[in-house]
Each structure stands twice: as C-alpha cells, then as structure tokens.
Structure 1
Amino acid sequence: MDTSDIQKLTDWLIDGARSAASSTHMFGETCERIVAAGLPLWRVGLFIRTLHPEIYGRNFIWKPGAEVEMGTVDFQILNSPDFQNSPLIAVFQQGIEVRARVDDPASSRFPIVAELRAEGVTDYIALPLLFIDGSIHASSWTTKQPGGFTDAQLAALRRIVTPLTRISEIVTLTRTASSLLDTYVGNRAGERILGGQIRRGHTETMNAAIWLSDLRGFTSLSDRLPAETVVDILNLYFDCQVAAIRKHGGEVLKYMGDGLLAVFPIDEYVGDDQKVCSHVLEAAHESRVSVAEMQYSIGDVVERFRFGLALHVGPILFGNIGGGSRLDFTCIGPAVNLAARLEKIASRLHRTVVASEGFASICRGGWSDLGEFPIAGFSKAERVYGLIEETSAD
C-alpha cells in the first residue's frame, strides 16, 4: 500500500475534492484512489442521515468498475429486521466501529455475513462518521483480499474517514438546507433563497396561473373536533391537492389555515399560457376527485369533505416580504387578491371550481358563464365561470 497516495487523497479531501463535480463523483473518486493506492476494496457504502419529513437517510454504494448508486430510505427502515440485525445499528446508536471478519465465528451474529461470504468477501468493517453537530452517520468497507484487511490498511481507512466525514458533512448541510427550503417554501423559492435572494425587497414580477383553495366548513369542523384531529384532517386534505399540483408543474407557496396558495409559472417568451392553464385544470379535476373520495372516521361517524377552488391568471410580485429579520418568500398583487375574492364567490355559489374570465378565455371549453359579480376592492365587476359539468351543491 502506497502511503504517499493515501496522503494525497486525504489532502484532496481536505481541500474540498474540487475536481469532483458532485457528491457521488467525490465518493467514487475517493474509492478509486484508495484502490489505486493498493488497498483492494470490494463494496463500500456511505449512509448519511438527513433532516427530511419523509426520508430517514441517503445511501451511496460503490463497487469496482461501476457508477456510484445513490438511494434513499424512509423511516420504516428503523423497524426492519435487516437494519436491527445489521452491524450499522451499533454504529448509529453508539458511534463505535464494528468489524465482521467472515472467517470469525463471532461474526455469524450478523445475517449480512452469509451474504458477504457468498460474494467472496473476506472482511467487513463499519466506521462511524461523527459530524460536528453530534449526529452519527456510517460507512462500510469490504474486501475480498485473502485474510481480510491488514492493520495498516485499517489504519489507512480510519485516516481517510476523518476528512471524508468533514466533506460529507458540508455536502449534507447544503443538501439539508436545500431540502428544508423546498419543504417549507417550495422549489423555486428555495432555489432563489440559496442563490442569494435573501434581502427584504428582493422581488421579481412573473406571469402565473394562480390556485387558491380552502376547505368548506372548516370553522365548524375546528369548533367541534379536537385540535389533533383537525390537523390530521388538514394533512390528508392537503395531500389531495399537493400531489396533483406538483405533478402538473405548480408550486405550493403557502398554507393559510385551511387555505392553499399555489402558482403555475408561465413563460412569457415561450407563450405557453394555454399549456400551463390546461395543466392547472387537470390538477383541479384530480384534486376535486381526491377530496370527494376523502373520508375520515370519528367513532361511528364518517366525515366527508368538500373544497372550493378559484383559478386566475395574471402578473404577480414574487419575492421577500416581511419585517426586520423575519421574512416570507411569497407572492402578492391584484391577481392574487382577485383569486381570493373569486374563492369566496365559489363558496357563495356552492361551487367547487370557479375561474376568472382571464383564465377561462385561455383554457377554453368546459366552462359555463355564472354571471358578473362585484369584487370588493376592485373598481369593476368580474365575470365568473364554473365547470360546465358541475351544478351548484346544496
């Protein structure tokens, strides 16, 4: 094993692995450099826990001559027998090394050893990655070398793991920030914030289809049900819309109690307003079906739900608004205000989906003219359209 190559590798990692274009390339190049230094690796894994509402962690798997595979695992893995009986459980829980030499009878307590033996692996070691914040992550290293890893090779791996941990932490923090921003403010807003658009007043104008909805009867629902139940219902209700909105190119900007504000950006240079509005209408149809099918059992009573949705299209101001150091990345403008007024009209007319004349004129067909209505705060009445197949509900 060439110790000078190991030193060059650690120096490269400490310097930020600048020649690697991504985290997967960095991990792949690290493993390849270790092999080039004379340490015969077979299968190597990185397991990084993450701060995400649905994803427990990400794994990166390297094998000689193959691209690095990246995957995610959800929180169910914590209760799976494979994980509970894995050497990694001790790494995550105690932050200790775990070695399993295939020829050591004591290693048979790990079911994975039988799989490794079938592959021709002779040695396995799991090493903790200790982040500065105290969180514990893990790496696993295997070899087919007769007799397993030597003491010198294990020392080299431990030496490499230290800078590998630091650069993995930096990548993870960046990914976590991006993930949290996507979760709480949306993809486009998250990209802008990470890109430096963080000062109050940083805004831009864009044309967009606007989606504004709320849950019918929410006030009485909140009054007669426990708060925990109401939260559970709201989460199910929002699930009925968010999947369709994202599927068709929209972005949820804000939840306001039972209200949901989403936008579908329109590229004015491409002129794709008709295509975008058609996608919005498809999302509206899918959401309407999902909400209609939604049920919630409370004792012997099965609750059913209805919602109202207003669709409009127009220019919005999109960016940072707020006071002092507490900002919100949202959209404002007369078009948003009009959508909010239209949603109230939908409620008065007992309609599920209504649209402004601007939206209906772009996305033609399937609309019935519901008449003109005065709009609070606007100088002239607005003609409102409803889905032609939908009659007013009592």
Structure 2
Amino acid sequence: MSGTDTVRHIDTGQEMTRFARGWHCLGLAESFRDGRPHGIDAFGTMLVVFADSDGQIHVLDGYCRHMGGNLAQGEIKGDQIACPFHDWRWGGGGRCTLVPYAKRTPRLARTRAWPTTEVNGQLLVWHDPEGSAPATELIPPTIEGFDEGRWSPWQWSSVLIEGAHCREIVDNVVDMAHFFYIHHAYPTYFKNVIDGHTASQFMESKPRPDYTPNPEKLWDGTYLRSEATYFGPAYMINWLHNDLGPDFTVEVALINCHYPVTHHSFMLQWGVAVREMPGLPADNAAKLAGAMNSSFGEGFLEDVEIWKNKSPIENPLLTEEDGPVYQLRRWYEQFYVDAADVTPDMTTRYEQEVDTTHAYELWQQEVDRNMAARKTGIR
C-alpha cells in the first residue's frame, strides 16, 4: 500500500437541491406591522410580508402573478397588497380580489400564501416542498412567562451569511470543543439529546479568564448553565442561567434562528431577553439584554469567519470528544427528504454525554500559561 492510499480525503458532498421542511423565523412580528409591505429573500425566491387592518400578518410569494411585479414595492390598500405595476390586489389568502381596470377578476388568479404563526413575539413561516400543512405539535413552544410580560423586550439582530449552508450552524449543537477555541469558554458538562423533531444541547461552562478583561472579578462559582433546543431545522430556544455571584442568577432567553436565502447563503438571526427579577428595573433588564445581544453577536461572527472559509465536509474525522456529529446530521436529514422517506433512525431518541475531564485538564494548563504570560507581558 502506498502512502497516498492511507490519506484521508474530504468528501464535500452533493449540491443541495431543496430547502428544509419546517418552521422558519422571519423576524420580530411587530416589525411587519408598520403599514408597509416587506420583501424577504428566502428559499430561493422572494416573499412579501404585510399586515392587514386587524394586524394579522400574511406572507405571499413576492412576485405578482399578472406580469411579475414586485409586490414588496407596492402598497397596502385595505386588507390587500397592491402591485405597483398594474394595481392588482392580492388578499392574505393568496386570491386576487380586484383588478381595478378590468370588468372581472380572473377566476384562476391565485398566488401562494405561506402558512404563518407567531411565537414569542416572532413571525414564523412554514416551508415544505411537498406543500403539507404543518402539524400543531411542530410549532415551537412559548417561553414560560413571555406572554405575561415577564421578560424584557427582545434585543434583536440579524446578519446575512454568504458562502455557507445553514447546516454549519446546526452542527454547533454537538460541538463541545469549539466553545473553548472560538467562544473562549470551557465546558465542564456537555450532553446531547436527539428526539423526534428536536435536538438539544445541555452544557455547563466557565469563562476563560485569559480572555476576560478583569479576571479578578470572576468569583469561583461563575459559570453558565445552558439548555438549548432546536425545534425543527431552524429555530432554537436557548435557556441560559448566568450565575454572576452568590445567590445572583440572571435568567436569559436566547433565540438562535435562521432561514435559507439560497443553498449557499442564509439569514442568521438572534434575539436576547432577560427575565424580570427583584431589584432589576425594567430599563436595566433591557440594557442587560442589549449587552448580551452584542456579546452573543460577537460570538456568532466568530463562527461566521469559520463557516465562510471552511470546506463542506460529509466525512468529518472525529474523536470521542467531538460528540454525535453523524447522529445529528442523520436527524437533520429528515427535514430534507419527503415525509414518506423519513426513517426511524432520523427520529429515534439518542443521548450522548461527552466526557469533558481530559479536555478540561489540558485547557486549564493552556489558560494557566496564558495567564502567567499576561502577568509578565509576554503573550
């Protein structure tokens, strides 16, 4: 056997030909209730989002079925979106309700209306190449206390990621080690649970003092407890418990979501809300949520630099500390095949806890070296 026969080659996979079946968040619902139509590039096409006089939000295909006018450049008239080209009026259900200059409206004048729902103050749209209606149990859950106003307003951000498929961000669910190298924390506990249409990550971690501006302010118990679950292929709720001091825990909800624009780009969105707590005024909670939004945004952008410059890889070479990458990808595949082709191994419950002991010991040595170098001014 020659030396080249033992070389591990990267399989970059096949070109994607469809977008995931499932609920996708388009943004904060209230941002679409401003009396204007909004164009959204998603799923290889363009959507138009608008609210009717009752505040009900509708999503239609963005191009008029008459002559292809861009409905997002039109205006809302009554409860319809009016095309800027010839003023054809389209209702939220997808039917053309009026052609102002014509004796009669064509009976077959219909466009695609996308199923929508609102959860946690966000607008979600259902996508399925087979055109199925979404089952109720697939709708992501409401964060406890959100509808009762026990959370600060969302601090919301978005960024277009070009040159990468959205599976890259989903892979992070099982990637324990990247939290140390990319996000400057080290996990002390890490577990994944894959079950049905959900994939969860349970993690406890500490901040890296060698990447903390004032490490002396960290108390021994400072750490983060995190429970993050993808509900379907594109919408994650991350419950974060930040222990900032003895008997002082800040409860944070982080939404991590995305929708595909093309097969090589996606819109990444994230929002942060802080749960009300005694002694924390509402305006301070909003400021804290804003600061955390910026912090998480910095972390996401660190991921982005990796995604934009890495190779797609279908056959990653793994160690036991890398977590259930193949099992997660098998789970993720269920959203890219016809419903009839979903197999039990895509949805059967699977659990795996990654032993962080060995990695933690080595990481602690690296941190100690960096801290010693910082004291002597040598990095």
- Flag the structure with higher helix content: 1
TM-score (structure 2 length as normaliser): 0.31
Larger RCO: Structure 1 or Structure 2 (Cα < 8 Å, ≥ 6 residues apart)? 2
TM-score (structure 1 length as normaliser): 0.30
